[in-house]
Amino acid sequence: MADPPLLTIDALHTYFRRGTETIYAVNGVSFTVLPGEAVGVVGESGSGKSVTMLSLLGLVRGRVTVRVAQAQFKSWDLTRLSRRQLEDVRGRDIGVVFQDPMTSLNPVMRVGDQVMEAMLAHQYAPPQAAFRRTLDLFREVGIPDGAARFRAYPHEFSGGMRQRIMLAVAIACEPELLIADEPTTALDVTVQMQILSVLQALRSRRRMSVVMITHDFGVATNFCDRILVLYAGRVVESAAVTDFLARPAHPYTRGLKGSILEIGSRGRSLTPIAGSPPTLTAPPTACTFAPRCPFAVPQCAEELPQLRTLSAGHQVACHRAEEVLDHVG
């Protein structure tokens, strides 16, 4: 019998009020994460990737409204937790690695104390045990000479080493779910592969689920089991990596793949997606990708496509998905 999902999100909406306008940043996102599964969330900047995950964790601030039909993590309904209860879940049961470690780490606090703080704040371990575990975590994430580096400050580390410290903070309390928001951005290719290797080893040893938010298709397809493609705050395609690579069924997915260089594509010219993403100052009532879509027909400008099952494990929100697949074939 299959394990039940670790995380279930149904119909998540996040709206920001800016002056007299409302920005509809997330518009009905639904997905699940299974125990031990790695899910990649991809899309252009502004597609709602980070806002989706921050909304679940109660980390969006300002004039914002978050509505969701279901947000179930393990046995907890995240929508019914108080702010303090959500703080207990965050960091203890759900770890987060943010995009820029230099702005996430406290610049005037020693890195070892920052890792210990996560354990002490959640009463995961007393001080002496937290100190010993911090040294163990440094070894696990690949920081050499942990006893000496414990008392160093963030500015004394390289970008890759700072990201390893963020990983140590995120996994300090043995979370079952890790949310990694662009963890390899601004790192060179060699360091990116090192960080991904550490993440993969952590995931394997702990059977930890991971949600990887990234712009990088290479990172997503090499690390993850399943890919979610977001556009204009909606999931437009969801598929296992093998299906995603072989049978992309949404024109936006095809556009993203066509606009990046891949190994073995020497001599192939890049094909950028025409136009720009929508401003999202109104709830979507039709396909938001239609103005940029080479497959668009009048129905696309009149009717909002719903996420539907195309084949086992493969869902797409496109009126013409079958024609797109025929074109791929």
Q: Within the chain, which residues score under 70 in pLDDT? A: 1-2, 261-268, 328-329
Report the DSSP pairing between strands 226-231 and 38-42.
Answer: parallel
Q: Is the pTM of this model over 0.85?
A: yes
For residue 82, which amino acid is it? Answer: S
d(CA 327, CA 329): 5
d(CA 77, CA 122): 20
211-242 burial, b for 16+ CB within 10 Å, e for fewer? Answer: bbbbbbbbbbbebbbbbbbbbbbbbbbbbebe
Cα 14 → chain centroid: 16
DSSP letter for 80, please.
Answer: G
List the domains of the chain with CATH numbers: 7-93+175-328 (3.40.50.300)
Written as six digits, the tokens of 7 are 């995380």
Question: Residue 41: left (phi > 0), alpha (psi -120 to 50), or beta?
Answer: beta
d(CA 273, CA 4): 38
Length of the chain: 329
Give the residue from 234, 168, 183, 189 showing the smallest Cα distance to 11: 234
pLDDT, tens digit, for every residue of 271-320? 788 888 898 999 999 999 999 999 999 999 999 999 999 998 999 999 99
CB 120 within 8 A of CB 159: no
The pLDDT value given to residue 1: 57
C-alpha dihedral over 50, 54, 56, 61, to 10 degrees? Answer: -130
The pLDDT value given to residue 102: 82
Report the sign of the C-alpha dihedral through residues 207, 211, 214, 218, in that order.
positive
The pLDDT value given to residue 216: 83
The pLDDT value given to residue 185: 76
